[in-house]
C-alpha cells in the first residue's frame, strides 16, 4: 500500500490537507444481484486538523486498479451516441449559468476544466463533445435540486479523465454512504464521516459523463422511470458503474429496464456479455438472460428442441392455405436453415418424412387427374411446389441422393404424365429440372445407373412441359436448367450421350422455344465423339 500526504495551496474557500489513498476498498456485504465493486483510486481532502493515513482493509474480490475498470467500461460496449461537434467552442457550465438570469437563485455551480488546447484536433474535438454531454446532464436540475448543490453539500467529487479535463461536483455524504457500498466502505471505514468538508477525486476516468449520470441517479426516487428516457447502450454504462460502486438500487433498476425494453441484434450480444463480465447473479439477471438464453430445466429443454420446432414449422408451411404467406415463410425457413451453424438442427429423417408425405399426396392426386377426376386437381401443383422446396433444402445440405432414388422410381406417375393436362402437370417437371441442375453442378453425386434412369423416366415428360414451364413459372432460371441438363447428359458414356443428343436435335428443330436449348452440350459431345477420336483439332 502506497500513500502520500501533501499540503495543498490555500484556496479561497477553505484550508485543506490532501490525503492520497491507493489501498483496496473496505469489504461490503454483497447484494444478491451485484458483484463486488473494483477499487476506486481516490484522493480525500479534509477540512479537519491533519491526521495520519487510514489504511483500508484489503478485499481479495476487488481488482488492483481502477484504471482496469475504466478500460473495460470503454471496450466498445458502452459508448453512447454522441451529438455532432459544433464549429465554435462550447461555453463552460459556469459561463452558461452566469449568463442565464433564470438561475440567479441557484447557489451551486459546476466548473468543467480542461487542459490547454492539444496539438491534436481530434482530442480537442472529443473533449468538446464530452463537455456538451456533461453540461446537458448538469444543466437539467431533475430529479432534484440537491444534486450538485454547493451550499448544502459536504463532499466535493472531482472526476478526472485520462485526457486531462475534470468535472467538479457537489454531493452529500448521506447520499453517497446510503446508496453506495463502495463509498460507505471508504468513508466509514476510515472515520471520515462527519469530519467536515471532504474532497474526493476519482482519476483516470474515460467515460466521465456515465459517472456523473450515475451519481445523479442516487438522488432520484423513481429510478426505473428515470431510465425510461435512456437507450440500452446508456443503461449498460450506468449498470457497469453502478456495479463498480455498489449502487445496488441502480443495478436493480438497470436490470429491470433491460428485461422490459427491446434489444437490437448488436445489443443481444452486448447484454449477456456484460452480465457475464460483471458476474451478476440472482433472479433479476436470470430474467434478463432468459430472452436470449433458454434455461436448463426439463420443461425448457422440451420447449427448445430445435429439431421438433423446425419440423413443426416445416409442416405448418407445407399445409398453409395462403399461397403468398407460404412463399414468404418458405424463403424465411430456407434462410434460417442455410445460415444455421448446426447442421443437425433438422435431421435427415425429419426432412425425408415430410418429403414422403408430399410425394404420396402428389401421386394420389396425379393419378386421379390422369383418370379424368379433377377434384382437388390444384393439389398437384401445390405438392409439387412443396417437393421442389424440400429438394432445395436437401441439395443445400448435400443429402439429396435418396430423393433422387425415390424420384426415379415413380414410373407409374411418369407413364400417366401425358394423360394430365399440361396446366396442372408442369410443376412436376420443375422437380425434374431441379435435379438436372443439382447433378449438372455437382451438388448431387449419383451413380451412373441412377443418372441413366432419371433421364429414361423423366426426360420426355420434361421436354413436353418445358414450354409451359418457360411461360408460366415466374423466376424460372432457364439457362441454369439447360446447362444442368447438358451436363447431366455429358456424364453418361458416349453411346448414351449420342442417343439423347440426336433425339434432342430432331425435337429442337420441330419445337424451337418449347424445347430446352442444349446446343452447348451437343457441341461438347460432337467434339468428344469425332474430333478426338480422329485426332483432329478444330481450326
The number of distinct structural domains making up the chain is 2
Q: Give yes or no: residues 372 and 467 share one domain.
A: yes
pLDDT band at 314 (very low <50, low <70, confident <90, very high): very high
Let me know whether 401 and 268 are in one domain: no
Cα-atom radius of gyration of the chain, to the nearest Å? Answer: 38
Give the model's pLDDT for residue 64. 40
Same domain, 108 and 205: yes
Residues 64, 133, single domain; the answer is yes
Specify whether 353 is located in the same domain as 248.
Answer: no
Q: Are strands 155-161 and 112-113 parallel, antiparallel or unpaired?
A: unpaired
Q: Which positions ≥6 away from 245 have C-beta within 8 Å?
A: 37, 40, 180, 181, 182, 183, 214
Highest mean pLDDT among 97-111, 195-209, 292-306: 195-209
- Are 284 and 422 part of one and the same domain? no
407 and 488 housed in the same domain: yes
- Structural domain contains residue 328: no
pLDDT at residue 80 greater than cutoff 50: no
Residues 237 and 90 in one domain: yes
Determine the pLDDT at residue 145: 61
Residue 66's φ and ψ, nearest 5 degrees, are -80, -25
Q: Is residue 467 part of a domain?
A: yes
Residue 253 lies in a domain: yes
Report pLDDT for 123.
66
Q: Is 126 exposed, middle or buried (0-12, 13-18, 19+ CB in 10 A)?
A: middle
Domain end, chosen from 240, 260, 289, is at 289
Asked if residue 330 is part of any domain, the answer here is no
| Average of per-residue pLDDT across 440-456 | 95
Name the phi and psi angles at 108, rounded to 5: -85, 160
Calculate mean pLDDT across residues 84-108.
42
Q: Are residues 76 and 224 in the same domain?
A: yes
Contact 257, 235 (CB under 8 A): yes
Which tens digit of pLDDT belongs to each residue from 485-494?
999 999 999 9
Q: Is residue 56 part of a domain?
A: yes
Residue 434, pLDDT score? 96
pLDDT tier at 405 (50, 70, 90 boundaries)? very high
Residue 83 has pLDDT above 90, yes or no: no
Does a structural domain hold residue 339?
no
Given 262, 289, 316, the domain boundary residue is 289
d(C-alpha 14, C-alpha 7), whole Å: 13
**pLDDT tens track for 246-279:** 999 999 999 999 999 999 999 999 999 999 899 8
* DSSP H or E segment with residue 399: none
Considering only residues 308 and 111, tell me which one the structure prediction assigns the higher pLDDT.
Answer: 308
- Residue 279: its pLDDT value, please? 87
User: Which CATH number is 53's domain given?
Assistant: 3.30.710.10
pLDDT value, residue 429: 96
Is 185 contained in some domain? Answer: yes
- Average pLDDT over the chain, rounded to whole? 77
| pLDDT in the model for residue 201 | 85
Q: Are 188 and 26 in contact (CB under 8 A)?
A: yes
Q: Does a structural domain hold residue 57? A: yes
**Does residue 370 share a domain with residue 283?**
no
Cα(501)–Cα(504) distance, integer angstroms: 5
Residues 215 and 353 in one domain: no
Higher pLDDT pick, 353 / 198:
353
For residue 375, give the C-alpha cell: 377434384
Q: Does residue 507 surpass a pLDDT of 90?
A: yes
Does an H or E element contain 198, and which?
strand 198-205
Using an 8 Å Cβ cutoff, are 47 and 183 in contact?
A: no
Q: Grade residue 126 by pLDDT with cuts at 50, 70 and 90.
A: low
The whole domain housing 197 covers 3-289
Q: To the nearest whole percent, how much of the chain has pLDDT over 70? A: 70
pLDDT in the model for residue 420: 95
C-alpha dihedral (212, 213, 217, 219), degrees to nearest 10: 40
Percent share of the chain, pLDDT over 90: 43
The whole-number pLDDT of residue 24 equals 32
pTM of the model: 0.63
pLDDT in tens, 23-38: 233 334 445 445 554 5
Angle at 499 between CA 498 and CA 505, to 5 degrees: 85
User: 521, exposed or middle or buried, with CB in 10 Å at 0-12, 13-18, 19+?
Assistant: buried
- Are 244 and 360 members of one domain? no
User: Last residue of a domain, which of 255, 273, 289?
Assistant: 289
Amino acid at each position: 500500500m502506497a500513500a502520500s500526504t501533501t499540503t495543498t495551496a490555500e484556496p479561497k474557500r477553505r484550508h485543506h490537507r490532501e490525503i492520497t489513498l491507493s489501498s483496496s476498498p473496505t469489504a461490503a456485504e454483497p447484494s444478491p444481484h451485484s458483484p463486488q465493486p473494483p477499487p476506486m483510486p481516490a484522493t480525500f481532502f479534509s477540512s479537519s486538523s491533519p491526521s495520519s493515513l487510514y489504511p483500508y482493509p484489503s478485499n481479495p474480490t476487488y481488482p488492483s486498479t481502477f484504471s482496469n475498470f475504466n478500460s473495460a467500461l470503454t471496450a466498445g460496449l458502452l459508448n453512447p451516441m454522441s451529438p455532432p461537434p459544433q464549429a465554435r467552442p462550447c461555453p463552460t457550465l459556469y459561463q452558461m449559468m452566469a449568463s442565464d438570469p433564470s438561475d440567479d437563485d441557484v447557489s451551486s455551480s459546476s466548473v468543467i476544466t480542461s487542459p490547454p488546447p492539444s496539438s491534436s484536433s481530434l482530442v480537442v474535438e472529443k473533449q468538446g463533445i464530452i463537455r456538451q454531454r456533461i453540461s446537458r446532464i448538469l444543466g437539467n436540475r431533475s430529479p432534484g435540486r440537491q444534486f450538485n448543490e454547493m451550499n448544502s453539500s459536504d463532499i466535493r467529487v472531482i472526476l478526472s479523465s485520462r485526457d486531462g479535463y475534470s468535472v467538479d461536483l457537489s454531493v452529500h455524504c448521506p447520499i453517497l454512504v446510503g446508496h453506495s457500498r463502495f463509498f460507505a466502505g471508504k468513508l466509514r471505514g476510515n472515520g471520515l464521516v462527519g469530519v467536515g468538508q471532504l474532497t474526493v477525486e476519482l482519476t483516470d476516468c474515460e467515460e466521465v459523463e456515465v459517472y456523473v449520470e450515475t451519481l445523479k441517479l442516487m438522488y432520484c426516487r423513481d429510478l426505473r422511470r428515470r431510465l425510461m428516457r435512456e437507450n440500452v447502450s446508456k443503461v449498460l454504462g450506468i449498470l457497469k458503474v453502478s456495479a463498480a460502486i455498489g449502487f445496488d438500487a441502480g443495478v436493480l433498476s438497470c436490470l429491470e429496464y433491460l428485461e422490459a425494453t427491446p434489444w437490437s441484434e448488436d445489443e443481444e450480444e452486448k447484454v449477456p456479455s456484460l452480465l457475464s463480465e460483471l458476474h451478476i447473479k440472482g433472479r433479476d439477471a436470470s430474467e434478463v438472460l432468459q430472452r436470449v438464453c433458454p434455461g436448463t430445466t426439463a420443461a425448457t429443454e422440451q420447449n427448445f428442441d430445435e429439431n421438433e420446432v423446425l419440423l413443426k414449422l416445416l409442416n405448418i408451411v407445407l399445409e398453409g392455405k395462403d399461397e403468398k404467406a407460404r412463399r414468404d415463410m418458405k424463403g424465411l425457413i430456407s434462410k434460417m436453415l442455410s445460415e444455421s451453424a448446426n447442421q443437425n438442427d433438422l435431421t435427415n429423417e425429419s426432412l425425408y418424412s415430410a418429403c414422403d408425405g408430399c410425394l404420396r399426396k402428389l401421386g394420389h392426386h396425379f393419378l386421379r387427374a390422369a383418370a379424368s377426376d379433377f377434384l382437388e386437381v390444384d393439389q398437384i401443383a401445390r405438392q409439387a411446389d412443396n417437393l421442389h422446396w424440400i429438394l432445395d433444402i436437401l441439395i443445400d445440405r448435400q443429402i439429396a441422393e435418396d430423393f433422387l432414388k425415390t424420384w426415379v422410381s415413380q414410373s407409374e406417375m411418369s407413364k400417366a404424365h401425358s394423360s394430365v393436362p399440361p396446366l396442372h402437370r408442369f410443376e412436376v417437371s420443375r422437380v425434374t429440372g431441379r435435379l438436372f441442375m443439382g447433378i449438372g453442378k455437382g451438388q448431387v453425386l449419383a451413380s451412373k445407373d441412377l443418372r441413366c434412369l432419371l433421364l429414361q423416366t423423366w426426360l420426355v415428360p420434361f421436354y413436353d412441359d418445358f414450354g409451359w414451364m418457360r411461360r408460366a413459372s415466374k423466376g424460372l432460371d432457364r439457362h441454369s436448367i439447360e446447362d444442368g441438363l447438358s451436363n447431366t447428359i455429358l456424364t453418361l458414356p458416349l453411346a448414351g450421350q449420342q442417343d439423347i443428343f440426336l433425339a434432342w436435335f430432331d425435337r429442337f428443330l420441330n419445337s424451337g422455344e418449347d424445347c430446352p436449348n442444349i446446343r452447348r452440350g451437343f457441341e461438347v459431345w460432337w467434339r468428344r465423339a469425332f474430333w478426338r477420336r480422329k485426332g483432329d483439332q478444330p481450326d
